[in-house]
Structure 1
């Protein structure tokens, strides 16, 4: 900065000298003296300018280093902003895609006729299958032992959505092809010689068994299983020969099942 000021002063003096010569206000001796004086001033100014310029160089380098650091920092900030902008654009695109999908579904639903809506409702109702029942409705007592296996009839109905369970026969008949979950609980009097054993049967074949046997107090057990059933497959509970269970108003022995999900095809 100081060197620049020196250069401007020299230029100003040169302009002033030329203007004086044009005006004719100086004689030959005066011009000679003035030139000698100005030569000294120029040498002094040149010396001062060089010294000042040498003094300016460290400041200029420091300023350049600071400017370079600022530019580098700004580039890093710009890159970070670009990344955030890209992320925001991606998020906006995803939201737009989801919105378009929702609009398509809403348009499809709005275009359904009343008969189609009723058909969808009926189809959903057909898929609502669940039941749960206990052995005895009001009485209490033992069941068994018998000399042969028997099918237990759970008559105290808690739930029978879809009416796939028959409380008269004790048999569940699958109305839809799909995966079903079944659960049984067992309770009986303790006996040294008579155990308590029941099992879940699918189409005449034993799937899982609940068994308990001890000499004192009472016995209990439970089992559950998920089965893939075709339309018309039957599931029920069997009390095995020479076995005994009991029940009362507390509904210890239960049989439950429900549709997990229908299968296609």
Structure 2
């Protein structure tokens, strides 16, 4: 832009100088015509022919100046068009960015909704878990060694309580009482020593539901183990019975045990 302006100033200066030269030249021609002798006519004719070429040069310079002005105008139009194109491009990019931002906001809102739903579900599970009764017990029989044989059935009272979550087992009576309706897992192990025969029965609400025995003829230790999965209602009772004529051995080694837990509620 600065080059174009400089060129215009130069052309204007040349045009001004040319105009002064033309005026001066005409005056000089008049003076020469008045004072020149006939013998100089040929020289004067030659000078006049030379001066007649100047108007053509100034015409070309003016045309060149007009071309420069036109070029300048064209450049300004191009600059305006480029600015408009850039503006349209920026507007398009801005619209695209706004659309992407809107999509991200929607995705974020969806994630927030899902997170809230997950948190609500976790809170519900935590409440259900906290409200769900926890039942588990593990006991051993005695430290006195041999128990039995007796001439009548006796209820086994497992006096050594190691775990009693929910307090569903009563060591004073030997009874396990289901606190809620559900499915329970129960297991027992009894040991027979020397020539004693070993047996144990499982009772539910004073009704025998399982009988187990082991005959020992080899004067060695023998173990009897079994387990049950029972559906119990709240208040149902489970206890183990040593049949008459049978014996069990237990010591500080806890060879004879009784345990159970709640699998799930119903």
- Following superposition, the deviation at residue 207 of structure 1 comes to 2.1
Task: Give TM-score, length-normalised by structure 2.
Answer: 0.53
| Matched residue, 2:131 | 123
| Matched residue, 2:229 | 226
* Matching of residue 160 in structure 1 with residue 180 in structure 2: no
| Matched residue, 1:210 | 212
Contact kept, 8 Å, 2:197 with 2:215, in 1: the verdict is: yes
* Matching of residue 104 in structure 1 with residue 108 in structure 2: no
- Pick closer, same or farther for the CA change 1:166–1:101 going to 2, 3 Å: farther
Alignment of 1:125-140 (within 5 A): 127-136=133-142, 139-140=143-144
| Matched residue, 1:250 | 253
- Following superposition, the deviation at residue 120 of structure 1 comes to 5.1
| Matched residue, 1:182 | 186
- Following superposition, the deviation at residue 208 of structure 1 comes to 2.4
**Hey, what's the Cα distance between the residues in 1 that align with 2:233 and 2:111?**
37
Contact kept, 8 Å, 2:192 with 2:216, in 1: the verdict is: no
- CA radius of gyration, larger in: 2
| Matched residue, 2:238 | 235
| Matched residue, 1:48 | none
Task: Give TM-score, length-normalised by structure 1.
Answer: 0.54
| Matched residue, 2:24 | none
Deviation string 1:194-226 (CA, Å, 9 cap, x unpaired) is: 411002211112222332112121221100000
Corresponding residue pairs, total: 156
Contact kept, 8 Å, 1:174 with 1:233, in 2: the verdict is: yes
Q: Which runs of 5+ in 2 are unaligned?
A: 1-109
Determine helix, strand or coil for the equivalent of 1:106. Answer: helix
- Following superposition, the deviation at residue 176 of structure 1 comes to 0.4
User: 256, 262, 265: which one pairs with 2:265?
Assistant: 262
**Hey, what's the Cα distance between the residues in 2 that align with 1:189 and 1:108?**
55
Determine helix, strand or coil for the equivalent of 1:163. Answer: coil
- Following superposition, the deviation at residue 122 of structure 1 comes to 4.9
Alignment of 1:82-101 (within 5 A): none
Deviation string 1:106-147 (CA, Å, 9 cap, x unpaired) is: 14667x8xxxx8x756513xx1100000011xx332111111
Cα RMSD (Å) of the superposition? 2.6
Deviation string 1:55-109 (CA, Å, 9 cap, x unpaired) is: xxxxxxxxxxxxxxxxxxxxxxxxxxxxxxxxxxxxxxxxxx9996553131466
Determine helix, strand or coil for the equivalent of 1:256. Answer: strand
Deviation string 1:230-252 (CA, Å, 9 cap, x unpaired) is: 01000011101110111111000
Contact kept, 8 Å, 2:198 with 2:216, in 1: the verdict is: no
- Pick closer, same or farther for the CA change 1:251–1:107 going to 2, 3 Å: closer
**Hey, what's the Cα distance between the residues in 1 that align with 2:242 and 2:261?**
22
| Matched residue, 1:169 | 173
